[in-house]
Amino acid sequence: MENTIKIGIIGGSGMEDPAFIESYTSKEVSTEYGNPSSQLICGNISDIQVVIISRHGPGHTINPTNVNYRANIQTLKNENCTHILAVTACGSLREEIEPGHFVFPDQFIDRTTNRCSTFFDSSEVQHTPMGKPFCKDLRNELIKSCDSLGFIYHTDRTVLTIEGPRFSTIAESNMFRSWGCDIINMSTVPEVVLANERGLHYQSIAMSTDYDCWHESEEDVSMEMIYAVMKKNVENVKKLITDVVPNIK
């Protein structure tokens, strides 16, 4: 019986190199919502088909607000993907979530203001349930892979997405902590919302790169700091994806 699982991988910085997938090809596509952020890299991990999109474009040239999230998600839907693994950098709002740790959120809080966050913004009004926006089955498989690979992770956490491209103030960072948020980024929303609207199983693979600005003993967060941690850990991300994809059902 032919395997109907097909995994979309939305990569952040450092995921542009497709050498970790087999028999890959690239192609340009477009959708009724415009062009996705990058060309597609299509290939296999074991016998599972995968499709990679670089969220911020080649060389990280698209800021979070300007990402065409609808085109990215619609592209993966058009490619017959059934699941999405979304790699994202995040700031930690908790002492125990150290830079380099993986985080698999199960909830989000939306603080974006300038993004189109639905496919249903015209006469086709639909109200999509969002009580459980992330895929528990994908989370469980990621946990098993981390245990097998010896990676430190945190699961069932809340991610807060801000508009960006600026970072938070100390007052904002502490407010988000008081709300019960565990990590902070600029890309999960509306990506996760749109994936749910299109019936795709979605799970973030968040990698802590810094302590945001609430942590008084740490230096202020900078892009240089984030890139340094991501460069160090991107190989772990690829190992995690390579390990988990064959186990997705």
Name the phi and psi angles at 214, rounded to 5. Answer: -75, -25
Instruction: Give the separation between CA 76 and CA 61, rounded to whole angstroms.
Output: 21
CB atoms within 10 A of CB 20: 17
Separation of alpha carbons 11 and 85, rounded Å: 8
Please confirm, yes or no, whether 212 is among the known catalytic residues.
yes
Q: Can you list the alpha helix ranges (DSSP code H) found in 123-165? A: 136-149
Q: Are 172 and 193 in contact (CB under 8 A)?
A: no
Q: Cα–Cα distance between 24 and 41 in angstroms, integer?
A: 6
Taken in order 64, 65, 67, 72, the sign of the CA dihedral is positive
Tokens 């028999």 sit at which residue? 23
Please tell me which residue in 47, 212, 220, 243 is annotated as part of the active site: 212
Tokens of 220: 């202020």
Catalytic-residue membership of 17: no
- CB of 198 closer than 8 Å to CB of 77: yes
The answer for residues whose C-beta is within 8 angstroms of residue 84's C-beta and 6 or more apart is 7, 8, 9, 10, 73, 76, 195, 200, 201, 202, 203
Catalytic annotation, residues? 210, 212
